[in-house]
């Protein structure tokens, strides 16, 4: 049973990661920065529970805030460029964050051991759940409470006028600004909300794995983040969820026997999806 | 209402618009005509703020628009349509109008409190009125991409009106329309004028231009070669030469 709980935890956290890219993708921007915001949320929340002794819930809130603040700061310069240049700029940012944590040492003595992030070795002993005696099932439910909350919020947001504005910007920036949409404000807001969602995902991730290191937040994770909404389609938030289940449960766990060949399958899937169903595997209602 | 003082726009060595003076009075329907490539669309883009002017000044209600981004100009009251229709195809007809509600009073209405104090109903009623005006009420929930060509043109006009403009820039609104549709468009423009709208109309279809405008300016190679009432323009030898060549 624990295997399935563990899988559900992974699916939940990756759904948050995918949704963070979904919001930005609605405005037509392809971003590879989401793994960076995810990492920032993970380290922030981990350090607050382990080093500062915070409860997990406010620590997750702080992870969301730091993710959002970084995304907002990155958004202003990065969104001045478009298309491929934005991909390169956000990729550089994501790698920058990873390398920051590769070099980041901040340890504090806690009883007999020292805790905190140690550069390349990573950040061990993020044991909030274990110290408080949570079972795997409870942890899974806790994560999914956040996933459902975020999905509900984004579902509502998507149907509001703001959702229509994001999609309008994604479709035609010239037309959008001509009907009075402030492109910079819209894109930076989408990036900021995306950063907050990625931060929540990272905060949860740090606590269920208990050990994070720079290598967790590499380009592969950034690619996954953007691949989920692309594969799932942009019709609504459930496309991203379906894509995460498909990739994590079927491609990665279900086909475990194939070993590293699965990565090839993942690449092939994206190429296939873009060719055969550019609206996403689960996308509907496109003209 | 709108005043262009020596406005130029150059693309490299190409002088798309060269020292253009225009003066559009409030409530007027002003026509801008000229052969292909004479700088009409560039003029609209410069007024709307999609291109910065290379020189000269644009004043709207006495205010210099220099350096104002496109969305700010819309909030001041300048809305436009595009020569090649640019709708949000994957949004519904309704959403296309919804996105365009960016007039200052609409933005105020979206404040947290006022939204619940009747602001929503007001916005809805206005959009319903616009759909009625454009003959699109029955297509409310259709995706814009699925509309027929004439309907897309109507929706684009409605979308520009959703921003409650004072000045409407119409860039070849009759392109590709049949004569029945042109007649309807003409009626719509006249209705808007009756409501006090100022219109800058760029058009090739002379049937429409000569029928609705109060005054016309003629561009050729980015420069104004004539200005006057439709009758004066029709009898201007310089204009005939620009259009027909030779003689």
Which helix (H) or strand (E) is B199 found in, with range? strand B198-202
- Provide the total of helices (H) and of strands (E) in chain A, helices listed first: 12, 2
Residue B132 buriedness (CB in 10 A; 0-12 / 13-18 / 19+): exposed
- Report angle CA A227, A229, A233 to the nearest 5 degrees: 120
The rounded distance, in Å, linking the Cα atoms of B72 and B79 is 11
Over residues A207-212, the mean pLDDT reads 94
B168 backbone dihedrals φ, ψ, rounded to 5°: -115, 125
Residue B242 has a pLDDT of 81
Q: Which two tokens stand for residue B67?
A: 């350096």
pLDDT of residue A287 exceeding 60, the answer is no
Task: Give residues with Cβ within 8 angstroms of B162, minimum separation 6.
Answer: A179, B97, B98, B100, B101, B126, B127, B130
The rounded distance, in Å, linking the Cα atoms of A207 and A49 is 9
Give B31→chain A minimum CA distance, Å. Answer: 21
How confident is the prediction for chain B on average, in pLDDT? 91
Residue A53 buriedness (CB in 10 A; 0-12 / 13-18 / 19+): exposed
Over residues B48-77, the mean pLDDT reads 94
* Chain B CB contacts of A172 below 8 Å: 86-88
Q: Do the chains contact at A176 and B88, CB–CB below 8 Å?
A: yes
Contact A34, A164 (CB under 8 A): no
Contact A213, A125 (CB under 8 A): no
The rounded distance, in Å, linking the Cα atoms of B116 and B102 is 18
Domain segments of chain A: what residues? 2-219
* Chain B CB contacts of A169 below 8 Å: none
Binning pLDDT at 50, 70 and 90, where does residue A268 land?
confident
Nearest residue, CB atoms, B100 vs list A171, A180, A285:
A180
* Chain A CB contacts of B162 below 8 Å: 179
- Report angle CA B36, B31, B57 to the nearest 5 degrees: 85
Task: Give the A:B interface size as CB pairs under 8 Å.
Answer: 76
* Chain B CB contacts of A158 below 8 Å: none
**Which residue from B minimizes the CA distance to A180?**
B71
> Cβ of B180: how many Cβ atoms within 10 Å?
9
Return the minimum-mean-pLDDT range out of A182-196, A262-276, B123-137: A262-276
The rounded distance, in Å, linking the Cα atoms of A1 and B113 is 49
The rounded distance, in Å, linking the Cα atoms of A281 and A232 is 5
pLDDT of residue B13 exceeding 90, the answer is no
Nearest residue, CB atoms, B70 vs list A165, A172, A177:
A177
The rounded distance, in Å, linking the Cα atoms of B22 and B217 is 8
Q: Could you tell me which residue, B47 or B206, shows the higher pLDDT?
A: B47
The rounded distance, in Å, linking the Cα atoms of B9 and B48 is 13
- Indicate the SS3 state at residue A217: helix
pLDDT of residue B19 exceeding 90, the answer is yes
* Predicted complex: ipTM over 0.95: no
pLDDT of residue B247 exceeding 60, the answer is no
Q: Do the chains contact at B98 and A161, CB–CB below 8 Å?
A: yes
> If we measure between CA atoms, which residue out of A154, A179, A155, A153 comes closest to residue A165?
A179
pTM summary value: 0.90
The rounded distance, in Å, linking the Cα atoms of A148 and A130 is 24
Residues in chain B: 247
* Cα–Cα distance list, B51 to B17, B46, B67, B75, B130 (Å): 12, 5, 10, 17, 29
> Cβ of B169: how many Cβ atoms within 10 Å?
24
Residues in chain A: 287
The sign one gets for the Cα dihedral B134, B135, B141, B145 is negative
Over residues B158-187, the mean pLDDT reads 94
The rounded distance, in Å, linking the Cα atoms of A206 and A59 is 11
The rounded distance, in Å, linking the Cα atoms of A98 and A33 is 11
> If we measure between CA atoms, which residue out of B159, B71, B133, B141 comes closest to residue B107?
B71
Place of tokens 């042109």: B182
Residues of chain A with pLDDT > 70, as a percent, come to 98
Over residues B139-168, the mean pLDDT reads 95
- Indicate the SS3 state at residue A242: helix
Binning pLDDT at 50, 70 and 90, where does residue B192 land?
very high
Task: Give residues with Cβ within 8 angstroms of A226, minimum separation 6.
Answer: A21, A25, A30, A31, A32, A34
């Amino acid at each position: 049973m624990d295997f399935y709980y563990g899988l559900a935890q992974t699916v939940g956290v990756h759904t948050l990661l995918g949704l963070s890219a979904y919001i930005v993708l609605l405005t037509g921007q392809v971003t590879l920065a989401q793994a960076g915001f995810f990492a920032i949320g993970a380290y922030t929340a981990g350090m607050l529970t382990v080093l500062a002794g915070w409860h997990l819930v406010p620590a997750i809130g702080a992870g969301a805030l730091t993710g959002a603040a970084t995304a907002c700061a990155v958004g202003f310069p990065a969104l001045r460029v478009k298309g491929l240049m934005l991909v390169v700029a956000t990729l550089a940012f994501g790698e920058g964050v990873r390398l920051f944590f590769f070099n980041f040492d901040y340890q504090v003595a806690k009883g007999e051991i020292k805790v905190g992030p140690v550069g390349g070795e990573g950040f061990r002993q993020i044991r909030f759940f274990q110290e408080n005696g949570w079972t795997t099932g409870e942890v899974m439910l806790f994560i999914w409470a956040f996933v459902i909350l975020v999905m509900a919020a984004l579902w509502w947001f998507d149907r509001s006028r703001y959702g229509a504005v994001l999609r309008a910007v994604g479709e035609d920036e010239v037309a959008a600004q001509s009907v009075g949409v402030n492109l910079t404000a819209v894109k930076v807001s989408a990036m900021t909300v995306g950063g907050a969602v990625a931060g929540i995902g990272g905060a949860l991730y740090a606590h269920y794995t208990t050990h994070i290191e720079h290598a967790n937040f590499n380009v592969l994770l950034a690619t996954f983040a953007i691949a989920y909404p692309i594969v799932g389609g942009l019709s609504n938030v459930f496309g991203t969820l379906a894509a995460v289940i498909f990739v994590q449960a079927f491609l990665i766990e279900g086909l475990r026997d194939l070993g590293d060949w699965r990565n090839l399958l993942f690449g092939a899937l994206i190429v296939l999806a873009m060719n055969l169903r550019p609206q996403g595997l689960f996308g509907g209602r496109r003209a | 209402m709108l005043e262009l003082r020596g406005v130029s726009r150059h693309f490299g060595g190409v002088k798309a618009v060269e020292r253009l003076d225009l003066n559009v009075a409030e409530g007027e329907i002003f026509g801008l005509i000229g052969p292909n490539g004479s700088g009409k669309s560039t003029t609209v883009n410069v007024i709307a703020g999609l291109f910065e002017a290379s020189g000269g000044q644009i004043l709207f209600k006495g205010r210099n628009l220099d350096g104002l981004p496109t969305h700010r100009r819309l909030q001041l009251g300048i809305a436009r349509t595009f020569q090649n229709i640019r709708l949000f195809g994957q949004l519904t007809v309704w959403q296309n109008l919804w996105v365009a509600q960016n007039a200052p009073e609409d933005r105020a209405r979206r404040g947290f409190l006022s939204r619940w104090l009747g602001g929503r109903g007001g916005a809805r009623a206005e959009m319903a009125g616009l759909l009625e005006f454009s003959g699109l009420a029955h297509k409310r929930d259709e995706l814009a991409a699925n509309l027929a060509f004439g309907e897309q043109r109507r929706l684009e006009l409605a979308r520009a009106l959703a921003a409650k403009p004072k000045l409407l820039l119409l860039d070849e609104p009759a392109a590709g329309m049949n004569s029945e549709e042109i007649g309807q468009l003409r009626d719509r423009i006249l209705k808007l004028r009756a409501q006090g709208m100022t219109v800058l109309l760029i058009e090739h279809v002379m049937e429409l231009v000569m029928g609705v405008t109060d005054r016309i300016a003629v561009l050729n190679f980015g420069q104004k070669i004539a200005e006057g009432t439709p009758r004066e323009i029709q009898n201007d030898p310089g204009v005939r030469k620009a259009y027909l060549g030779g003689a």
